[in-house]
Chains A and B, each alone.
Chain A
Amino acid sequence: MYITEEQILEWLQEVKDPEIPVLSLVDLGVITDIDIDDHRVRVTITPTFVGCPAIDYMKQDISDVLNSYGIDHVDVVVSFEKSWNSNMITEKGRKALKDFGLAPPPKHNLIVDIDILERIECPNCGSTNTILNSPFGPTACRSIHHCNDCKETFEQFKPV
Chain B
Amino acid sequence: MNETALKELLYKMADDQLIIGHRNSEWTGMGPLLEEDIAFSSMAQDKVGQSHALYQILHSLGESEPDTIAFTRNAEQFHNCTLTELPNGEYDFSLIRHFLFDTAEAIRFELLTESSYTPLAQLAKKIQGEIRYHTMHANTWIKQLGTATEESISRLQSSLDKALPYALGIFEPSPYEQELIADGIFPGEEVLKEKWTSRITEILSQTSLQLPDLNSIEPEFGGRTGKHTEHLQPLVEEMSEVFRIDPGAEW
Judge whether A136 and B136 touch: CB under 8 Å.
no
Q: Which of A98-123 contact B (CB under 8 A)?
A: 112, 114
The residue in A49, A85, A140, A158 that gathers the most chain B C-beta atoms within 10 A of its C-beta is A49
How distant is the Cα of A78 from the Cα of B102 in the complex, in angstroms?
26
Interface SS of B by simple majority = helix
Task: List residues of chain A with CB within 8 A of the CB of B122.
Answer: 80-81, 83
Taking residues whose C-beta sits less than 8 angstroms from the other chain, chain A's interface range is 20 to 34
How distant is the Cα of A53 from the Cα of B44 in the complex, in angstroms?
12
Q: Mark B33-64, 1 if CB is under 8 A from A, else 0.
A: 00100110111011111101100000000000
Judge whether B129 and A135 touch: CB under 8 Å.
no
Q: Mark A115-147, 1 if CB is under 8 A from B, else 0.
A: 000000000000000000111111010001000
How distant is the Cα of A46 from the Cα of B49 in the complex, in angstroms?
14
Judge whether B126 and A50 touch: CB under 8 Å.
yes
How distant is the Cα of A100 from the Cα of B123 in the complex, in angstroms?
31
Judge whether A51 and B47 touch: CB under 8 Å.
yes
User: CB within 8 A of A51: which of B52, B123, B136, B137?
Assistant: B52
Cβ-closest chain B residue relative to A112: B132
Task: List residues of chain A with CB within 8 A of the CB of B140.
Answer: 114
Task: List residues of chain A with CB within 8 A of the CB of B53.
Answer: 50, 80
Judge whether B130 and A50 touch: CB under 8 Å.
yes
Task: List residues of chain B with CB within 8 A of the CB of A84.
Answer: 126
How distant is the Cα of A133 from the Cα of B129 in the complex, in angstroms?
20
Judge whether A50 and B35 touch: CB under 8 Å.
no
Task: List residues of chain A with CB within 8 A of the CB of B167.
Answer: none
Q: Mark A43-85, 1 if CB is under 8 A from B, else 0.
A: 0001001111100000000000000000000000000110111
Task: List residues of chain A with CB within 8 A of the CB of B52.
Answer: 50-51
Judge whether B45 and A51 touch: CB under 8 Å.
yes
Q: Which of B117-176 contact A (CB under 8 A)?
A: 119, 122-123, 125-127, 129-130, 132-133, 136-137, 140
Task: List residues of chain A with CB within 8 A of the CB of B133.
Answer: 112, 135-136, 158
Judge whether A140 and B42 touch: CB under 8 Å.
yes
Q: How far is the CB of B136 from chain A (nearest CB, A)?
A: 6
How distant is the Cα of A89 from the Cα of B113 in the complex, in angstroms?
23
Judge whether A136 and B39 touch: CB under 8 Å.
yes
Binding site for B on A (CB under 8 A): 46, 49-53, 80-81, 83-85, 112, 114, 133-138, 140, 144, 158, 160
Using A80-B125, A112-B133, A135-B39 as known contacts, list a sample of 16 further A-B pairs with CB atoms less than 8 Å apart, ordered by residue number in A: A49-B46, A50-B46, A50-B49, A50-B50, A50-B52, A51-B46, A51-B52, A53-B49, A85-B129, A133-B35, A134-B35, A134-B38, A135-B136, A136-B38, A137-B38, A140-B130
